[in-house]
A = this chain, B = another copy of it.
Amino acid sequence: MATKKKAAGRGRKNAFYAQSGGVTAVINASACGVIEACRKAREIGKVYAGRNGIIGALTEDLIDTSKESAAAISALRHTPGGAFGSCRYKLKSLEENRAQYERLIEVFEAHNIGYFFYNGGGDSADTCLKVAQLSEKMGYPIQAIHVPKTVDNDLPITDNCPGFGSVAKYIAVSTREATLDVASMAKTSTKVFVLEVMGRHAGWIAAAGGLASGPDLELPIVILFPEVRFDQDKFLAKVDAMVKAHGYCTVVVSEGLRWPDGRFVSDQGMRDAFGHAQLGGAAPVIANMVREGLGLKYHWAVADYLQRAARHIASATDVEQAYAVGQAAVEMALQGRNAVMPAIERRSDKPYRWRIVEAPLAQVANREKMMPRRFISRDGFGITPSCRAYLEPLIQGEAYPPYRNGMPRYVRLKNVAVPKKLAPFELAL
């Protein structure tokens, strides 16, 4: 629960900021929002970034962001990836591993840290919530604010998650482009193009493929959502009908697509020539199905990291929101809040209006928001008008990075380490 408490303690406290989980095209825009807001706040000293998320806090591996120029921090706004390194690491509960919490207090005290900003998705919200407990359960005055980020768009309460809009734009644009390609080839060659997209549990990213087709350019797109039980016969009949009607189609398949028995479609028990298990993707499996079931020539692609790193085609709306949640997190800290997260509230679809509100972290951590059924068309292979109305504002605007010599000018920070004051802490990774 959110608690109101004045930022207190030995004068100006420093802030800790770190990035956690899979990175995005705009997580650094949130970092930029946090750091620029902290630099303006008289109540806050330096911002120490954790190298590789919470691991940096536990191992006292802190980066002094005050060593970076204003221009370098500003360039974070257009630089993809995680500038300070991320991690996949969950804190155990206070009961299970009290030593870790004591260590955090030790590090925070040593570096006079009173603000904790953690930038991540659902798992990271759990970490942030646990750190927030230091304040109530262990008496160390900290304000832990979670900065939302996830391409999966599956955090509850917030209308959407920073990071998602840019992936959605990338997938919508790429699907439109590749579909124009297969349309050209269909007469004598490829008739079905299969694109695999991220989203292990929720189909938000797959849904974005539906935006490839719109009133200005209608294209035959079939979407395979992880929320919809995969029915191979129905799927092949759908592709067959699409190809008969249009001559070609594109299939956007979520990596999280499952068979009715729960197995991932991507996990086909593949073996190479030596009998070794081979981890395939869902796309080649679906493509092969199209060939074997319908005798159609196919091509397939797996976007993987390309989609979530594609800062070159980021959504301007997403960049703006990513920055805004970073800034809002600092404002909440200055208002004495703890265990909260800035969430995006949608005021209207058209024109798109939104604002930042405060969400209690206890209601965010470890909960996943699936696609509502009303966003998926009746046959299960497309998006509905209400889904389109939800998605469209999130991909609005282009926020191109600057280029030099034909390449985007992404910044690499100096990442100067803060001198350690404590004995090393052993951490099993």
A→B interface (CB under 8 Å): 19, 22-23, 25, 51-52, 55, 79-83, 85-89, 169, 172-174, 176-178, 180-189, 193, 195, 211-212, 214, 216-217, 268-273, 276, 278-281, 283-285, 287-288, 292, 299-306, 308-313, 315, 317, 392, 395-398, 400, 403-410, 412, 429
- B residues less than 8 Å from A80 (CB atoms): 177, 180-181
Nearest to A81 among chain B residues (CB) is B180
- B residues less than 8 Å from A285 (CB atoms): 272, 278
Check B429 against A407 for contact (C-beta < 8 Å).
Answer: no
User: How far is the CB of A41 from the nearest CB of chain B, in Å?
Assistant: 26
Instruction: Please give the count of copies of this chain that the complex contains.
Output: 2
Check A173 against B304 for contact (C-beta < 8 Å).
Answer: no
Contact of A412 (CB < 8 Å), options: B22, B82, B217, B273: B217
Contact of A184 (CB < 8 Å), options: B82, B182, B271, B403: B82
Check B188 against A429 for contact (C-beta < 8 Å).
Answer: yes
Check B268 against A181 for contact (C-beta < 8 Å).
Answer: no
Check A188 against B309 for contact (C-beta < 8 Å).
Answer: no
- B residues less than 8 Å from A412 (CB atoms): 217
Check B81 against A408 for contact (C-beta < 8 Å).
Answer: no
Interchain CA distance A23-B88 in the complex, whole Å:
41
Check B407 against A211 for contact (C-beta < 8 Å).
Answer: yes
Check A177 against B270 for contact (C-beta < 8 Å).
Answer: no
- B residues less than 8 Å from A280 (CB atoms): 270, 278, 280, 284
Contact flag A79-B410 (CB < 8 Å), given A193-B305, A304-B299:
no
- B residues less than 8 Å from A182 (CB atoms): 305
With A169-B406, A300-B302 already in contact, 4 other A-B pairs whose C-beta atoms are closer than 8 Å = A81-B181, A82-B184, A87-B189, A392-B406
Check A181 against B23 for contact (C-beta < 8 Å).
Answer: yes
- B residues less than 8 Å from A83 (CB atoms): 184
Check B303 against A276 for contact (C-beta < 8 Å).
Answer: no
Check B87 against A409 for contact (C-beta < 8 Å).
Answer: no
Nearest to A397 among chain B residues (CB) is B406
Contact of A177 (CB < 8 Å), options: B272, B301, B309: B309
Check A269 against B269 for contact (C-beta < 8 Å).
Answer: no
Contact flag A85-B184 (CB < 8 Å), given A270-B271, A280-B284, A285-B272:
yes
Check B392 against A405 for contact (C-beta < 8 Å).
Answer: yes
- B residues less than 8 Å from A79 (CB atoms): 180
Nearest to A272 among chain B residues (CB) is B268
Check A187 against B85 for contact (C-beta < 8 Å).
Answer: yes
Contact flag A187-B395 (CB < 8 Å), given A173-B312, A279-B288, A306-B177:
no
Chosen A-B contacts, 19 in total, with CB atoms closer than 8 Å, are A23-B185, A55-B187, A55-B188, A177-B306, A180-B410, A211-B407, A268-B272, A268-B278, A269-B272, A270-B272, A276-B288, A280-B280, A281-B284, A283-B302, A300-B304, A301-B301, A301-B302, A317-B406, A396-B405
